[in-house]
Structure 1
């Protein structure tokens, strides 16, 4: 697994496919959190939303890096296509954790917020929830399922918009609405943890569906 993650990182760094989602994330962070003040939950809602969009794009970009022939070679080398998919998910997740740290502390550096341990914990849970959901959306919108990039792009945009703007839909819309309207991080920790659990279930289901469809095609 470590070798697969190292291979994925080497390929994505060489092709520079990470640049677009990285620039999108930092741009959204600069627009949404600079010069803020007051309670932190609304600021961390912005960080989580930015990471949600960036993680979806990053997942699609990384999963779609290898051509069918290259992927076949990697699968034969590792022995199982499920292991290759798990390695790709691990690579995206590690990348998202690095962005999560930036999203956690950038608002504190650029704004004037009232910060406490509970705020930092909430920010971590919220961003991790949105990152997992973004990965879950990106997996079936990759080359593994959609051979045509246009179809994959339309599917990804539709799912991202639905997750962001469908009122009350867990985990993303529900969580971001709660954080945008409540200043008390302690009160938000319980529902945020519930949304994190929902995101984990969603990612597991998405990985299973993607692997199933990939196996049928291969």
Structure 2
């Protein structure tokens, strides 16, 4: 499994399709981290929202590195489509973790400000929640599920917008709390409680993607 993850990661890096979403994320974080951007919890909430969109893009890019023929060869070599999908999820998660580090550190570098003990954990949980949801959306909107990428793009945008803007959704609920407080300790329990929802969505999306892709093959 480790060899398969290394292969998937190396193929993704060589194809360089990760550059566009990573650069978009860095640009968004740079804008959100200005001198007058407000308390750190609100900045981290905005960065997490950007990471959801970019994690979706990254996941689709990781899956799209191999065309159907090469992916079929990889599945045969790995002896299981589940292993190949798991490696894809693992690489997408590693890239999302990289976005999390950027989203947490860049605001402190670009605009030094006081940091409480709860700021970084709350920001990390918000990024992990959005990263999980982004990977989930990317899986179900990849070409493993949608043959027409135009439709996949529309569905991905709709799902990302729904996750971020629908009142009562885990990200929307967390962002509102983070945007309206200067003490991240107030939102830390909520962030901990909402993270399993993102992980559950990722698990469901992985199952759906596997079932659809196997039936098509």
Q: Tell me the TM-score range normalised by the shorter chain.
A: over 0.9
Cα distance in 1 between the residues matched to 2:123 and 2:201: 20
Q: Secondary structure at the match of 1:34?
A: coil
User: Which aligned pairs between 1:162-173 and structure 2 lie closer than 5 A?
Assistant: 162-169=162-169, 171-173=170-172
1:20-52 deviation line (CA, Å, top 9, x unaligned): 101110111111112246531101101111111
Question: Where does 1:25-64 land on structure 2 (aligned, <5 Å)?
Answer: 25-36=25-36, 38-64=38-64
Deviation for aligned residue 1:179: 0.9
The alignment of Structure 1 onto Structure 2 pairs a total of residues equal to 217
Q: For residues 155 and 213 of structure 2, what CA distance do their matches in structure 1 show?
A: 17
Q: Could you report, residue by residue, the CA deviation over 1:127-175 in whole angstroms, capped at 9, with x for unpaired residues?
A: 1111011001110100100111111111111111111111221x22111
- Contact 1:36-1:43 at 8 Å conserved across structures: no
Aligned to 1:117, the other structure's residue is in SS state: coil
Query: Partner of 1:206 in structure 2?
Result: 205
Shift of 1:106: 0.8
How big is the shift at 1:114? 2.1
My pick for the range that moved more, 174-183 or 120-129, is 174-183
Which residue does 1:102 correspond to in 2?
A: 102
User: Are 1:141 and 1:155, in contact at CA under 8 Å, matched by a contact in 2?
Assistant: yes
SS at match of 1:35: coil
Match of 1:215 in 2: 214
Query: How far is the alpha carbon of 1:82 from its aligned partner?
Result: 0.7
- Provide the rounded CA distance (Å) in 1 between the counterparts of 2:101 and 2:214: 35
Contact 1:129 1:196 in 2 (8 A): yes
CA distance in 2 between partners of 1:198 and 1:49 (Å): 16
Q: Classify 1:67/1:37 alpha carbon distance in 2 versus 1 (closer, same or farther; 3 Å).
A: closer
Q: Give CA deviations for 1:63-97 in whole Å, capped at 9, x if unaligned.
A: 12211111110000011101100000000111111
> Structure 1 CA distance, aligned partners of 2:174 and 2:65?
32
User: What stretches of structure 1 of length at least 5 have no aligned partner?
Assistant: none
Would the aligned equivalents of 1:4 and 1:88 in 2 still touch at CA under 8 Å?
A: no
1:179 partnered with 2:178? yes
Scaled by the length of structure 2, the TM-score of the pair is 0.96
Alpha-carbon shift at residue 15 of structure 1 (Å): 1.3
Gaps of 5+ in 2: none
Aligned-residue Cα RMSD (Å) equals: 1.2
Scaled by the length of structure 1, what TM-score is found?
A: 0.95
